[in-house]
Amino acid sequence: MNDHKVSVIVPVYNGEKYIKKLLNSLMSLNYPEDSYEIIVVDNNSIDNTMEIIKKYPVKLLEEKEIQSSYAARNKGIQQSKYDILAFTDADCIVDKNWLKEGIKPIVNGDADLVGGKVEFYFSKKKTIAELYDSITHMQIENNVNERNVAKTANLITKKKIFKEIGLFPDNVQSGGDVQWTGKATINGFRLVYGSKIVVLHPARTLGEMIKKQYRVGKGMPLIWKNSKGMANQRPFIIQIIRLVLPRRISTLRKQIIKDKANAEIMMKRLFKIWLFSYFCKLSSFFGVISYYISRKNNGNKAN
């Protein structure tokens, strides 16, 4: 099993807060050192990220032309040596058996892509933003089983898929991994969920959540455009309506119940979490509006 070599690819932008934890975990993998390479692609960081990375025995690349984590991942793919690729994010911490367990479905012939489990960890306060983040994002099992898509926070895949269907879309700020994995499954490649393939991810703070939702919204129009014809793709007007309508409390409650570790504390804060969820939806809506305003302004300048 351990004879199979893997290229680990990590994009990073201003990641000085987290990158050391990730690299330390990658250095401690239960996997032969000569059977995997670590490729970190910096995407125009202006903090001390580069200086930190240079202290580790990794392949450091730079993506300067396109400001997109997917463009950074694409550069890593193009420079990778091995036929199995493993993706995670700069703010994650990988389990010591991440690669050992991650390649099994691919090596055994059970899958072409594997979406692994993402577990959240919290600050001491377990804020409303953190709790909402933990039940809303990185729900990989549901993504795989219900939508046939996965996230690059924890994704193991055959390199040949990129050669057959193309690289990640690099014209989006968010959702490119969902687009690409959806395209892969539509083209007949098999995606499975791996519960033993684990990475840890910090639950986001209020500011981080709002920024993320705004960024997600700003990237939605391109995702809708690029996803035309894909299964489960909703019409444009339905997408907009869904953004401005608040979530059902009953739906939120169902999500909370699934989180056995934090269900009790979240049920006590249910109404506050619901209010915050609507604030996040509005942030995404304003992101969509911002995209169209900027496109219109760019069009006027061109004229």
80 close to 9: Cβ distance less than 8 angstroms: yes
- Residue 14 tokens read as 């201003």
- 263: three-class secondary structure by DSSP: helix
Whole-prediction pTM value?
A: 0.82
- Which residues share a beta bridge with 42? 12, 62
Question: What is the pLDDT, as a whole number, of residue 118?
Answer: 93
Beta strand 6-12 pairing with 59-62:
unpaired
Question: What is the pLDDT, as a whole number, of residue 3?
Answer: 63
Rounded to 10°, the helix 270-302/236-244 angle is 130
pLDDT, tens digit, 9 for 90 and up, residues 46-76 = 999 999 999 999 999 999 999 999 999 999 9
Least confident of 105-119, 145-159, 190-204, 236-250: 236-250
- Would you give the DSSP letter of residue 31? S
**DSSP H or E run through 70:** helix 69-79
Average pLDDT (154-163) is: 96
What's the CA gap between 228 and 221, in Å, rounded? 11
Least confident of 19-23, 43-47, 112-116, 203-207: 203-207
Residue type, 134: S
How many angstroms separate the Cα of 282 from the Cα of each of 132, 205, 215, 243? 15, 17, 12, 7
Q: Which CATH entry fits the domain spanning 6-302: 1.10.15.40, 3.40.50.720, 3.90.550.10, 3.50.50.60?
A: 3.90.550.10
* Residue burial 38-62, b: 16+ Cβ < 10 Å; e: rest: bbbbbbebeeebbebbeebebbebe
What's the CA gap between 234 and 257, in Å, rounded? 27
Sign of CA dihedral 230, 235, 240, 244: negative
Tell me the pLDDT band of 301, cut-offs 50, 70 and 90.
low
Candidates 222, 255, 250; CA nearest to 236 is: 222
Question: What is the pLDDT, as a whole number, of residue 172?
Answer: 75
Query: Within its chain, how far is the Cα of 171 from the centroid?
Result: 16
- Residue 2 tokens read as 């351990």
Question: What is the pLDDT, as a whole number, of residue 260?
Answer: 79
Residues written for the chain = 303
How many angstroms separate the Cα of 65 from the Cα of each of 43, 60, 170, 184, 256? 9, 16, 11, 26, 41
Contacts of 178 (CB under 8 A, 6+ apart): 143, 147, 149, 150, 151, 223
pLDDT, tens digit, 9 for 90 and up, residues 233-277 = 555 677 777 777 888 888 888 888 888 788 888 899 999 999 998
Tell me the pLDDT band of 147, cut-offs 50, 70 and 90.
confident
